[in-house]
Amino acid sequence: MPLSLFIGWAIAWGAGAPLLADALHRRRWIAPVILVLLDLRLMPELAPVLVLGPHWWLGELVLIALLLLPALFLARATAQDQHLGARASLLVLVFGGIILGLPALGLFGPAIQPFLRPAPWVLACGLLFSIPGLAAVRDLAKSGRGTPVPLDPPRLLVQHGIYGFVRNPMQISMTALLTLEALVLDSHWPLILAGLGIVYSEGFARWSENQDMIERFGSEWRNYQKNRRPWWPRWRPAPAPACQLWIDLACPPCGSIADWFTRQCPSNLNMLDAANFPGPVLTRITWRDPASGRTETGIHAIAMAWQHLTLPWAALGWLVSLPGFSHLLQACLDASGAGPRPARS
């Protein structure tokens, strides 16, 4: 496909689709119908510039289901500031696909085969390298009430979780994943992309981000920036407004957990008796950030509390917080008798 045609197609389906849907207001569902009908009619007319296979329309349907409809949902949800969790999840898939998937498909062709049947070590390393980026997106959404996209940024400055240790967790993940991709594909191109990403991050992106963050958060951002390195994590989290860990001290197992955390000398974390909680009666261990209002319970609370300790404990907290994994652990704990119970006053 000629580059000019590809760019035109990207503009029509990328920017044009959500703009057309927004212009139609309550009949926005007509927008994808119009675009699909135009595509089905015009694509065959592009020969010989564009040569279609006999079953090209099946690919068209797949792209509509996997790309167009989720993209329209993402555009609408972003414009209305709704479904933050779904927006953040879709952005993870989008950026992961663009940075890792498209280079592999476009530059290497048959070399994509190792990704179809990955070795166990590739899966393990891929999961390990993804953890900082996934933890960062989660913290931006739950503590900052926004996403990594500059047009949909966090409303609050995130200073806890992984951002208590390092400033660029998503860039660290992407650089590590591109390096892994270079090893798997035996190609230098992903390393070049990783290098370009570092140059961009340390050049224009850092300057632009710094100006934007100073305008939005002022001295709070300057203090944050001063206490955290961009690429090398701290051993303990940097100073930040204190969070709370509410534990039922009258419960022997919970009291043991509170004693253990106290002995670890957590940073920026106050241990409090759940019996004195000012809101509804707590039934699980609860972690709370008063600045953002973010509240986590059960295994998620323990995972957040670990992130107030040293870096290895924090990394375990990032792993435990992964979707699916955390729910499985919580179900196992509940089945073993550590389920919810009201705090005793």
What is the predicted pLDDT for the residue at 299? Answer: 93
For residue 131 the two structure tokens come to 């953890």
Separation between Cα atoms, residue 118 and residue 136, nearest integer Å: 26
pLDDT recorded at residue 221: 92
Please check whether residue 295 is in contact with residue 310, taking contact to mean a CB–CB distance below 8 angstroms. Answer: no
CA distance 278 to 339: 22
Full-model pTM:
0.85
pLDDT at 16 over 80: yes
Does the pLDDT value for residue 297 go beyond 80? yes
Q: What is the pLDDT of residue 268?
A: 95
Q: Are 176 and 198 in contact (CB under 8 A)?
A: no
Supply the pLDDT for residue 162: 96
pLDDT at 239: 94
Say what the pLDDT of residue 285 is. 93
| Strand order across the beta sheet in which 286-289 lies | 269-273, 243-247, 286-289, 294-297
Model confidence at 34: pLDDT above 90: no
**Looking at the DSSP assignment, which residues form a beta bridge with residue 295?**
288
* pLDDT tops 70 at residue 105: no
Q: What is the pLDDT of residue 104?
A: 59
Tally Cβ neighbours within 10 Å of residue 247. Answer: 27
pLDDT at 110 (0 to 100):
55
Instruction: Name the residue with tokens 């930040």.
Output: 240
Cα-based distances in Å from 128 to 236, 327, 332? 20, 19, 23
Residue pair 5/50 in contact by the 8 Å Cβ criterion: yes
Check pLDDT > 80 for residue 93. Answer: yes
Mean pLDDT of the chain: 87
Amino acid at 38: L
